[in-house]
Amino acid sequence: MANAGKGVDVHEPANPPSRAVRPALAAPRRLSPVQEAYEAWARHQVDCGVCRNVDAGPCQAMGLLRRRWDALAGAAVRRVADESA
Ligand SMILES: [Zn+2]
């Protein structure tokens, strides 16, 4: 006798995967001030429509973020140089 017309049982997994998705770019720890300044500068280039437009050129905020990053990076280099002198 053939199968009595029962459908295929679909078994749900006993432990469905968690819905909590870890962000792909999650920082494992806090960034240094220089890294945060660089991140803000780099992210601005991606997010800003004016800066992405090669004909429009960088906007004023881009210049400020770049100078902030340069100043923090320069201060960090000088601090290391002073400590090693
Ligand atoms: Zn911009």
All residues at 6 or more sequence positions from 69 whose CB lies less than 8 Å from its CB, including other chains? 34, 37, 38, 40, 41
In the reported structure, the alpha carbon of residue 62 is separated from the centroid of ligand 1 by a whole-number distance in angstroms of: 5
Contacts 24+ apart (CB under 8 A), 37-41: 37/65, 37/68, 37/69, 37/72, 37/73, 38/69, 38/73, 40/65, 40/68, 40/69, 41/65, 41/66, 41/68, 41/69
Q: Cα 74 to chain center, whole Å?
A: 24
In the reported structure, the alpha carbon of residue 49 is separated from the centroid of ligand 1 by a whole-number distance in angstroms of: 7
In the reported structure, the alpha carbon of residue 27 is separated from the centroid of ligand 1 by a whole-number distance in angstroms of: 24
Residues 16-72 pLDDT 10s: 556 666 666 665 678 999 999 999 999 999 999 999 998 988 999 999 999 999 999
pLDDT for 69 equals 97
In the reported structure, the alpha carbon of residue 67 is separated from the centroid of ligand 1 by a whole-number distance in angstroms of: 14
In the reported structure, the alpha carbon of residue 20 is separated from the centroid of ligand 1 by a whole-number distance in angstroms of: 33
